[in-house]
Amino acid sequence: MKIQNVRIKNFRALKDVSIPFDTVTTFIGPNGAGKSTVLRALDWYFNGKLGSLTERDCSFGAATENVEVQVTFSDLTEKDREALGKYAPDGVATFTAWKRWSPDGSEVLSANAKGFPAFNLIKEASSAAAKKDLYTKLRSSQEHLDLPAATTGAAVDQAMTAWESSHTDQLVDAPEALQTNFFGFNSGGKMSGLFDFVLVTADLRASEESIDGRSSIIGRVLERSVDRAAADEAIAEIVEESRAKQQLVYEEKFKTQLEAITTQLNEVLESYSPGRAVTVSPAEVELKAPRTTFEVGVLDGITQTAVERQGHGFQRTLLISALQLLAQSGSASAEGVICLAIEEPELYQHPIQAQTFAKVLRSLAEDAGKRIQVTYATHSPYFLEARHFDQVRRLTRSSDATPVVTVHLAKLADVKARLHGVLNADAVDRQLDGKGSAGDAGNQRVFDRQELRHEREGKGIQRECAGQAVPRHRRRSGVYGARRVRAAEAEAREWSMFRRFGRRRRETGKSRMIQYGIETLSVTNPPSTGDCNSPAEILNDVVRRATHSDVT
């Protein structure tokens, strides 16, 4: 399953926002708009421990209101449904669960369980006898339900479950509390291994993430890649043998001395307290088999150094490498999903390396066999692709006394509606896929012929200007000839550009679509003059790289 939609209430800068998610979800916007807050809210939802939130995490001092994160999942597999049970029966396409923090510090994870309303009182009964009595009354009062007889509490539960399974059309949503470790890597919860959320924050924590622990990235990679069970069993046997040998050493070295001390002490004790005796023996030292752990070092030339002694750029590269390996290693389950959430993935990276990382994340997310979902907050144009403008979420923040964060996005259907009359829907799809129409193929042949003609003409003019075997009546003066050469070469370059970067009509359509995405994302609260990360500037940079032209 994958995240389809997230709603966040009363969490830091986010008072109440609803955000649709894609296979790759990119958050952009000025500093302080709430991009990182979205990722941290999800981290609390999936991995947060009790007490990790306080009243300071409430939105703009609303400490008397609940903090709530609601996540809707889609693309449920059979294993997902098996683990979720009544929360995702057959015929239900999505699963929604929400986590609430209350001002008293308590936290509750809840989900809508599909159930028959008449069974609610029976399910809430405190004893098996009360449950049986309520079930019997329901059978007699609503005979049309055709409920089977049940004489024990367990039989009542089984009868209700069987009835609900065969009457799914009569079930309604009924909120129920879930176990607090429902999600979480290695938590033992139902969804552990089926959906794991991994957050890499912008603050440099390479030394922490390279420690072999249950919550670190390296620890998760090792957990999926290395089977420690055999080694742990062997070490446990060694510890047990050591304990037995320890007792033999004690007996050999101390038995005679301790027996003498015991005899002498009891002789004195007998005179004060007849009928009692004491013994002096070696204390048993509990030897516990240690868990097999690993450490990561950096081999710099022939010298091994600690991770924290490396530069920021290398430490971040190590985090990225471990994250990529984690994604490629797959989830603990064959049908599990890993959601990679990265804060400023371009941090400390050389531009070329950042661009490569962006391509790797895209390829991992689009590979159906990897089962990866990616989301990140970025200020870098390398993590924005004009072709995937519908996966961009721009966050803006108002300048009111109580600021309001708004999420802007553009969908492909909206673009098609906007371009109605300019390009039909099929043409839009083809152009986004990098394919032209049948008419474009004919235009390409015309462009090729024009380019060849201009190339030949340019070479001919150059020969004329040089006076190489050119008849006297075709010779031109140097100035006039130079002008013709420049004009012909410029026109040839123009046609060559169209041949290399695509047809005019296709590029115009793409520019219109990208422009629409920009306009939609920036519909309110446009960036200030000093904002160098506006969507227009970022997407223009992408377009310039692809077409050597700006989106106006």
User: pLDDT of 123-151, one tens digit each?
Assistant: 888 888 899 999 999 999 998 898 999 98
What are the angstrom distances between the C-alpha of 458 and each of 250, 445, 453, 467, 500? 101, 20, 9, 14, 19
Q: Is the pLDDT of residue 430 over 90?
A: no
CB within 8 A of 142, min separation 6: which ones? 118
**481 falls in which pLDDT band (50, 70, 90)?**
low
Question: pLDDT value at position 313?
Answer: 83
Q: Is the pLDDT of residue 24 over 90?
A: yes
Where is average pLDDT lowest: 47-61, 187-201, 223-237?
187-201
pTM over 0.75: no
- ∠ Cα 543 546 550 (to 5°): 35
Question: pLDDT value at position 25?
Answer: 97
Nearest to 517 by CA among 428, 421, 436: 428
Q: Distance (Å, rounded) from C-alpha 231 to C-alpha 263? A: 46
Question: pLDDT value at position 84?
Answer: 84
Q: Is the pLDDT of residue 330 over 90?
A: no
Q: Distance (Å, rounded) from C-alpha 457 to C-alpha 459? A: 5
- ∠ Cα 291 296 299 (to 5°): 145
Mean of pLDDT over the chain = 77
Query: Residues of the chain with pLDDT > 90: what percent?
Result: 23
**546 falls in which pLDDT band (50, 70, 90)?**
very low
**496 falls in which pLDDT band (50, 70, 90)?**
low
Q: Which pLDDT tens digit goes with each residue over 173-216?
A: 766 666 656 665 444 566 766 888 988 888 756 677 777 776 77
Nearest to 433 by CA among 491, 388, 494: 388
Question: pLDDT value at position 483?
Answer: 62
Contact of 87 with 32, CB cutoff 8 Å? no
Question: pLDDT value at position 162?
Answer: 81
Q: Is the pLDDT of residue 547 over 70?
A: no
Q: Which pLDDT tens digit goes with each residue over 439-454?
A: 454 444 544 555 555 5
Q: Which pLDDT tens digit goes with each residue over 254-298?
A: 888 988 999 999 888 888 888 888 888 888 777 777 878 888 888
How many contiguous H segments (helices) and E segments (strands) does the chain have? 16, 14
Q: Which amino acid is at 309?
A: R
Q: What is the mean pLDDT of residues 365-369?
A: 85
Question: pLDDT value at position 516?
Answer: 53
CB within 8 A of 513, min separation 6: which ones? 389, 415, 419, 428, 431, 432
Q: Distance (Å, rounded) from C-alpha 208 to C-alpha 308? A: 9
Q: Is the pLDDT of residue 549 over 60?
A: no
- The SS3 of residue 8 is strand
What are the angstrom distances between the C-alpha of 42 and each of 25, 70, 190, 199, 442? 13, 9, 18, 9, 51
Return the biggest CA–CA distance within the chain.
145
DSSP classification of residue 304: E
CB atoms within 10 A of CB 86: 16
Q: Which pLDDT tens digit goes with each residue over 61-89?
A: 899 999 999 999 999 988 888 888 777 87
- The SS3 of residue 281 is coil
**484 falls in which pLDDT band (50, 70, 90)?**
low
Half-sphere exposure of 311 (CA within 13 A, CB side): 6
| H or E element at residue 272 | helix 229-272
Beta-bridge partner residues of 278: none
- The SS3 of residue 339 is strand
Contact of 23 with 340, CB cutoff 8 Å? no
**513 falls in which pLDDT band (50, 70, 90)?**
low
Q: Is the pLDDT of residue 459 over 60?
A: no
Q: Which pLDDT tens digit goes with each residue over 6-21?
A: 999 999 999 999 999 9
